[in-house]
A and B are shown apart, each in its own frame.
Chain A
Amino acid sequence: MTGRPGWFLPVQKLMWCVAPLLTVCLVGCGGSEYRFPGHKPKPAVTGVTVVCSPSTIQPGQTSQCSATVVGTGSFNPAVSWSASAGQISTAGLFTAPSLPTSVTITATSQWDPTQSGTATVTVGPAQASNVQPIVVDAGPAPQTFTAVNVAFVTVTVCVPGTTTCQNIDHVLVDTGSSGLRLLSSAGGGVLGLTLPNEPDSSGNPLLECAVFGSGYAWGNVAQADITVAGEMASSAPVQVIIPSTSSPGVPASCSSQTTQPNMGDSVQALGANGILGVGLLQQDCGLACTTANKTIPAVYYDCRSFSCNPTYVTLAQEVTNPVTLFAADNNGVLIELPVVPNGGSLNPSGSLIFGIGTQTNNGLGSVTVYTVPDSGPNAGDITTTFNGTAYPASFIDSGSNGIFFLDTATTGIPLCARPNDSWYCPNTSPDDLSAVNQGANGNHGAVNFSIEDATTLFSSNNTAFSTLGGPLPGSFDWGLTFFFGRNMFTAIENMSTPGGPGPYYAY
């Protein structure tokens, strides 16, 4: 507000006391103690207090400030406004500058300029939109196979530092890996951009062999600006997955790490146009691929003259979880998916939300934090106890499309008839089960889950099933089935969050 010059008359004073937005009041404002000038002590201002609301705003936004002038006698409560940055009107309306800062707002009494009061307005960084829509649908075109329980998002990639960009649809959201991997056009992917290759320390092409549970991905390490929701990772190392028919060919030391096929041979083989690894790790390999390891593992390859040999890399050269490269909301992700009833749903949608406890939409609330070891034999794992037996190599993974656990001999749940014999078909469907998950921090919680007959489930056109399961001897893989109806947090290693440092899962 602004103070008004001139002598203070009763009517004016009353107006000032009740006028909206003008909170200037004088001691004795109630009226009963009012005395005409000349019948009271010499007027004096004894203090000025300032309040601005809201006290935290974004660049360019406004905050309304008001002053309360306290004094004795009949004085003019008018004030003059000033701000250490940005602009403030004579009515006390503050407009924030364009850059984040802390601004001091001062109101000075015009009656007695030695009397003033201050307030602080925090101008925070612009809140990025941190929500990217998820769809659980039948997968990328041409949908010749039907995906089930796969969370897809669209990711924008750009040649670094340029506006040469492309939206890549149907990128699989994977909390079980870290880093963005895109299927090359040679492999049938939609990627049309030529992303610059990242050289290794010798200046030669750097390629990577990434082994997943269901196959391997071979291809160049390249750089891209990645934009998801309002977040951007600049010059992020990504993998461009190439098929077996491309050069350089797949080294035997890569393909022999699994009996499973090259996932880069086709869209069908990958089941997506790419994989967005937003898991527990900052880099996919970490220190084990740097000179900190006395042996060079078969992960990153120096490919000079199309002859590829394992090579050390630096952490900065490794394919990196893009979330850690965001300016904000960079300590993890929250995946929100709706409840899916028995029998399944068609194309449900959800959200991939960046950050943990960084904005109003990603607070931990009352969830339980399950920390996981960041190294050792059970790195990234929780312990699941089922029927009294603990399985310490269990994990949570949005990139798996069921709850995969134990075997028929242990669970008594038969496999389905061919061709669905990699899934469970319980004799009584649904088969209601219970397990207990425990983190390395000792936190534990019971999980009730149900398994339905997969062959019956698959007889519908639904794309999301909360009761789909299959065997995995010796452990539990809590896949996307487990995410429906839960808010699932994945915190990144060594990043601080309101629930403590990552890595952890929380739900």
Chain B
Amino acid sequence: MSIFRFVGDHCKEVPRVLLSALLLGLPLPAMAVLGDNAASVLTDQAHMKGTLRSVDNRTYVMHEITSTTGTVVREFVSPAGVVFGVAWEGPFPPDLQQLLGPYYQQAQQAATPEQQQRRRRAPVVIETPGLVMYETGHMRSFQGHAYVPQLVPQGVQVSEIH
């Protein structure tokens, strides 16, 4: 685990996020999200009516949104400004359709079981070339993460996406 620094102390990434949204005049996308640009973090924040803190970890910036229901979503943004991974935990799952964007459908398809000899009754684990994901938990406690392997910056351990 790297040393995390908080926005209040070292807020060099967040202004860039705001700047990119403002200067580029981006209409904030309706679905924001894994694989999308950093501005989508703000869309998620608005969608979740959550509070945001951001941590610059040198090889990436982690934006953490805490929703009013207590669920925490973390979005991992590469130096290129792309959300390469998301993670969540809390008493309720987040809106995964919002969070995963186009990868939501991909996850649905990947998770559709083939004609297995015996069915697995357990949290879902997806490991495809284009998407790695798990959803786990039980009533009152849910966790998960998803990332796009091709988008993970050099030097980032995928175990940090949590």
Partners in one complex: yes
Residues in A lying within 8 Å of B, measured CB to CB: 145-150, 176-178, 210-214, 252-253, 255-261, 271, 279, 281, 284-286, 288, 293-295, 297-299, 375, 377-381, 393, 395, 397, 399-402, 404, 407, 418-420, 422-423, 454-455, 458, 470-475, 477, 479
Known A211-B93, A259-B104, A259-B111: A479·B135 in contact at CB below 8 Å: no
Interface positions of B from 139 to 156, Cβ below 8 Å from A: 139-143, 145
15 interchain pairs, CB-CB under 8 A: A147-B119, A149-B121, A210-B139, A213-B137, A214-B124, A252-B97, A257-B96, A259-B133, A285-B139, A288-B91, A375-B140, A400-B123, A402-B122, A455-B117, A473-B134
| Residues of chain B lying within 8 A (CB to CB) of residue A260 | 108, 111, 124, 135
- In the complex, the answer to whether A271 meets B119 with C-beta atoms within 8 Å is yes
- In the complex, the answer to whether B124 meets A177 with C-beta atoms within 8 Å is no
| Residues of chain B lying within 8 A (CB to CB) of residue A418 | 114
* Pick from A212, A256, A281, A399: contact of B140, CB under 8 Å: A281
Closest 9 CB pairs of A and B: A256-B97, A213-B123, A259-B107, A295-B68, A257-B93, A401-B121, A458-B117, A148-B118, A379-B141
| Residues of chain A lying within 8 A (CB to CB) of residue B122 | 213-214, 400-402, 404, 422, 470, 472, 477, 479
- In the complex, the answer to whether A253 meets B95 with C-beta atoms within 8 Å is yes
B-side interface residues, number (CB < 8 Å): 48
Interface positions of B from 96 to 116, Cβ below 8 Å from A: 96-98, 100, 104, 107-108, 111-116
| Residues of chain A lying within 8 A (CB to CB) of residue B134 | 472-474
Determine how close the nearest CB of chain A comes to the CB of B28; give it in whole angstroms.
19
| Residues of chain B lying within 8 A (CB to CB) of residue A255 | 97
Known A211-B142, A257-B92: A474·B114 in contact at CB below 8 Å: no
* Pick from B108, B115, B120: contact of A423, CB under 8 Å: B120
- In the complex, the answer to whether B136 meets A213 with C-beta atoms within 8 Å is yes
- In the complex, the answer to whether B111 meets A404 with C-beta atoms within 8 Å is no
B125 within 8 Å of A by Cβ?
yes
B162 within 8 Å of A by Cβ?
yes
- In the complex, the answer to whether A213 meets B135 with C-beta atoms within 8 Å is yes
| Residues of chain B lying within 8 A (CB to CB) of residue A145 | 119
Quick one: closest B residue to A475, CB to CB? B136
- In the complex, the answer to whether A176 meets B96 with C-beta atoms within 8 Å is no
How far, in whole Å, are A26 and B95 apart by their CA atoms in the complex?
A: 84
How far, in whole Å, are A401 and B119 apart by their CA atoms in the complex?
A: 9
B67 within 8 Å of A by Cβ?
yes
- In the complex, the answer to whether A297 meets B141 with C-beta atoms within 8 Å is no
How far, in whole Å, are A145 and B117 apart by their CA atoms in the complex?
A: 8
Quick one: closest A residue to B135, CB to CB? A258
How far, in whole Å, are A419 and B113 apart by their CA atoms in the complex?
A: 9
